Chains A and B, each alone.
Chain A
Amino acid sequence: MTISYQLKRVDFIFKNENDWEDVLSKSISRTPQELINELISSELKGRGGAGFPTGLKWKLSSEEGDDTKYVICNADEGEPGTFKDREILSRVPFKVLTSMAVCGHVIGAKEGYIYLRGEYFFLQPELNKAISEFEYYCKEINLDFKIRIFMGSGAYICGEETALFESMEGKRGEPRNKPPYPSSYGYMGKPTVINNVETLAHTFTIFKYGAKRFYDLGVQYSRGSKLFSVSGDTPKPGIYELELGMSLADFVDEFGDGDTKAVQVGGASGFLVPRKRFNETAIGFQGKLTGISLPTGGSMMLFNSSRSMFNVLDNYLEFFREESCGQCTPCRVGCQQLLSGIKAVKRGEKNAQYLDKLMRLAETMQYTAKCGLGQSVANSFSSIVENFREEMIY
């Protein structure tokens, strides 16, 4: 199946935010129900990678009858190949802050946190300045909402929402068992909405222009635009806002160097797509109309024919081996086995059939790991080994 959607650049996210005060005061004059309906009809899905419908998330937390609730902005942008959230926070911070406050209004929360990864420490002074200005305005309009930055300290897994709560609570960032889910049992055991930075930037757009402007972009099941972090073998690395639903072929036409061998969609935890599948692959959330569709937090890494896919996989697996929190067996030991396994095959210490055993192991990790990290190791592992098996073997 060939996808016909064209690559289309969009400019919403970084468009000026000077009217944030206006958007904020107008939004909080609306009822929570109206705002939730607006979000639901926009069909906005989370931009961190998992793609949970944002409107539903807010709705679930708003229905919880707790006095204390929290809004958390997940700025623990750690997925290899992703760097959009930093750009949003440094260029249009007020959009994010505004959306957090609106979310607070919707669910009944008075406190918001931005969990900022330790690597982005340098963003803190500017962001704090923005927060002071923001809170000053909130006071002016009698909106009781405070925002604090919580710094991470170098742990990829803290991007997983329940690990992030644990980290904020002063503990090791280890994912929790689910259920219960954050909407009812999040930070400090309280109902919590946790959204990716970009998601909050989009909700600003939706509150400003209405759901339709957003909904009209993209394709069915994958509405709106999305920031893409483009890196690797490309003449124009950077951040681009594009409509969802484009075909990977169009994407490579635009960003490739003419020799693109494969694209890693969604970072180390995403999928590697070889050249022969560019035409049939769309970028967006799963859905019948979009064919083979790959969700993504926006990481697009291009590899040209000079690259060894063995090295690429080796690099990813080392990343996972180190960044696994280590608590559950399939992820902790599985990552070590996959990594030492491909090395053993490459050195000829294990035969090529051992790759099949590793593929089955990766599948087990996908079924049994406690959180998204361990579950998604199989994505890159299987897609690379399947498509570039010959590069793995001695």
Chain B
Amino acid sequence: MNPVSDLIKNLADQHGRSRHNLLPILQGVVEQEKYLSEFSMTEIARELDLPAAEVYGTATFYSFLEHKKMGRYIIRICKTITCSMKGKNQVLLAIEDMLKINVGETTPDGTFSLLQTNCLGFCHKAPAMLINNEVFTDLTPEKVRDILSTYMKKKGASYDN
């Protein structure tokens, strides 16, 4: 059986199969898969006995529930006011330059996706970004290069597995 189908079954067993369990299940799939594919959403709809269009309509409402294929590490850099004032664009340029992708794109090897997001709630330590669920603050171009280098090494390590 497809591993995503298994995942969805397990999530539904864990959270329940009512409408109000939809978000945790969507989140569970995104945590594992980084995004919700057409297949995932269809399976969720089937599992919860919900119309597929409803699942799609609900998922697309939430910024963190991506429905396009994403890399293993999703970088979300905050673009709201304080981060923008404190040099977000310079950090963004450094990332784009280093990963050779623009905002909204994924590196060809599928490791990183780069997105902008609204206020992360770290305005006192701006600029800030998330890589998956981890927060990085007080960013500078230099600092962000170091952070990404660490992630790139992580990537190398996991490739050995």
Binding site for B on A (CB under 8 A): 77-83, 86, 117-122, 150-156, 167-173, 188, 229-233, 237-239, 264, 268, 299, 301, 303, 307, 311-312, 315-316, 319, 322-323, 325
B37, CB-defined interface residue at 8 Å: no
Given A188-B20, A312-B81, check contact A156 B64 (CB 8 Å).
no
Pick the contact of B121 from A120, A167, A268, A312 — CB < 8 Å?
Answer: A120
A117 to B118, CA, bound (A): 12
Query: Chain B residues near A322 (CB, 8 Å)?
Result: 118
Pick the contact of B118 from A156, A169, A237, A311 — CB < 8 Å?
Answer: A156
Distance (Å) between the CB of A312 and the closest chain B CB?
A: 6
The 5 A-B pairs of least Cβ separation, nearest first, read A154-B63, A170-B22, A237-B124, A154-B64, A231-B123
Query: Chain A residues near B118 (CB, 8 Å)?
Result: 78, 80, 154, 156, 319, 322-323
Q: Does A82 lie within 8 Å of B121, measured CB to CB?
A: yes
Pick the contact of A171 from B58, B65, B120 — CB < 8 Å?
Answer: B58
Q: Does B81 lie within 8 Å of A86, measured CB to CB?
A: no
Query: Chain B residues near A319 (CB, 8 Å)?
Result: 80-81, 118-119
Name B84's closest neighbour in chain A (CB-CB): A315
Q: Does A301 lie within 8 Å of B82, measured CB to CB?
A: yes
Pick the contact of A83 from B18, B65, B117, B122 — CB < 8 Å?
Answer: B122
Given A81-B123, A83-B124, check contact A155 B24 (CB 8 Å).
no
Query: Chain A residues near B80 (CB, 8 Å)?
Result: 80, 268, 315, 319
Binding site for A on B (CB under 8 A): 18-24, 26-27, 30, 57-58, 61-65, 79-82, 84-85, 117-126, 130, 133-135
Query: Chain A residues near B57 (CB, 8 Å)?
Result: 172
Given A80-B81, A155-B62, check contact A119 B20 (CB 8 Å).
no
Pick the contact of A78 from B27, B85, B119 — CB < 8 Å?
Answer: B119
Given A153-B26, A168-B20, A170-B23, check contact A80 B119 (CB 8 Å).
yes
Q: Does B81 lie within 8 Å of A170, measured CB to CB?
A: no
Name A231's closest neighbour in chain B (CB-CB): B123
A154 to B27, CA, bound (A): 11
Q: Does B121 lie within 8 Å of A119, measured CB to CB?
A: yes
Query: Chain A residues near B20 (CB, 8 Å)?
Result: 168-170, 188
Distance (Å) between the CB of B128 and the closest chain A CB?
A: 10
Q: Does B64 lie within 8 Å of A232, measured CB to CB?
A: no
10 A/B residue pairs, CB under 8 Å, sorted by A: A80-B82, A119-B130, A151-B24, A154-B62, A156-B118, A171-B19, A172-B58, A233-B85, A315-B84, A322-B118
Query: Chain B residues near A315 (CB, 8 Å)?
Result: 79-81, 84
A167 to B135, CA, bound (A): 24
Residue among B24, B30, B79, B80 with the most chain A CB within 10 A?
A: B80
Q: Does B27 lie within 8 Å of A153, measured CB to CB?
A: yes
Pick the contact of A155 from B30, B63, B120 — CB < 8 Å?
Answer: B63
Query: Chain B residues near A156 (CB, 8 Å)?
Result: 118-119
Q: Does B133 lie within 8 Å of A121, measured CB to CB?
A: yes
Query: Chain B residues near A238 (CB, 8 Å)?
Result: 124
Name B31's closest neighbour in chain A (CB-CB): A121
A389 to B104, CA, bound (A): 34
Distance (Å) between the CB of B129 and the closest chain A CB?
A: 11
Given A80-B81, A122-B135, A153-B65, check contact A230 B124 (CB 8 Å).
yes
Q: Does A231 lie within 8 Å of B124, measured CB to CB?
A: yes
Pick the contact of B19 from A121, A170, A239 — CB < 8 Å?
Answer: A170
A228 to B57, CA, bound (A): 36
Distance (Å) between the CB of B36 and the closest chain A CB?
A: 11
Q: Does B124 lie within 8 Å of A80, measured CB to CB?
A: no
Distance (Å) between the CB of B5 and the closest chain A CB?
A: 20
Name A313's closest neighbour in chain B (CB-CB): B81
A231 to B119, CA, bound (A): 13
Name A149's closest neighbour in chain B (CB-CB): B24
Distance (Å) between the CB of A318 and the closest chain B CB?
A: 8
A237 to B122, CA, bound (A): 10
Query: Chain B residues near A172 (CB, 8 Å)?
Result: 57-58, 61
A82 to B82, CA, bound (A): 11
A65 to B135, CA, bound (A): 44
Query: Chain B residues near A152 (CB, 8 Å)?
Result: 62
